[in-house]
Amino acid sequence: MNEFNLHIIEADKDFFEGKCVSLVIPTTEGMYGIQAMHENLVAAIDIGVIKYTLPDGTRCHAAVSNGMVKVENNNVLILVESCEDPDDIDEERARREEEHAKDVLAGKTDRINYRAAKGMLARAVNRLKIKKRYGKYN
């Protein structure tokens, strides 16, 4: 199977770098698939799950926040605010963030603005969904 290079970078560190045979990313236009020799592309990544398959057949999943993807010459670069393996997601922390965001959106507190609360809620719900669906210990 044909391979391509995948590099996923979070705001503060590298998440993954290596060979890959397929990739599915959440874009603002919906889920988008990428394989070897894909045409050049730049797109916005939305909050969701990325799915990628390694050359040995291992399927990997990660929760991602907003960012960008660049595909060029069989190299894929993903730049996102955050990227988490489902097994590394702190479920309790995500639940607290979800509740806090809901409180802000309901007008119970004004510690952060409405737009930031919407983003916080979307990220927390996404993390919980991915932890439940792809985490090993559920």
The model's pLDDT over 73-119, given as tens digits with 9 standing for 90+, comes to 999 999 999 999 999 888 898 888 888 888 877 876 665 577 778 88
- Return the minimum-mean-pLDDT range out of 15-24, 29-38, 63-72, 120-129: 120-129
pTM: 0.80
Look-up of token digits 């291992």: 58
- How many angstroms separate the Cα of 24 from the Cα of each of 1, 21, 58, 73, 103? 17, 11, 14, 18, 33
User: Mean pLDDT, to the nearest integer, of 38-45?
Assistant: 96
Q: Which residues, 6 or more positions from 122, have their beta carbon under 8 angstroms from its beta carbon?
A: 47
Residues 6+ apart with CB under 8 A from 131: 63, 86, 89, 91, 94, 138
Query: Tokens 């990628």 map to which residue?
Result: 52
Residues 113-130: tens digit of each pLDDT? 777 788 888 888 888 888
The neighbouring-strand residues paired with 61 are 51
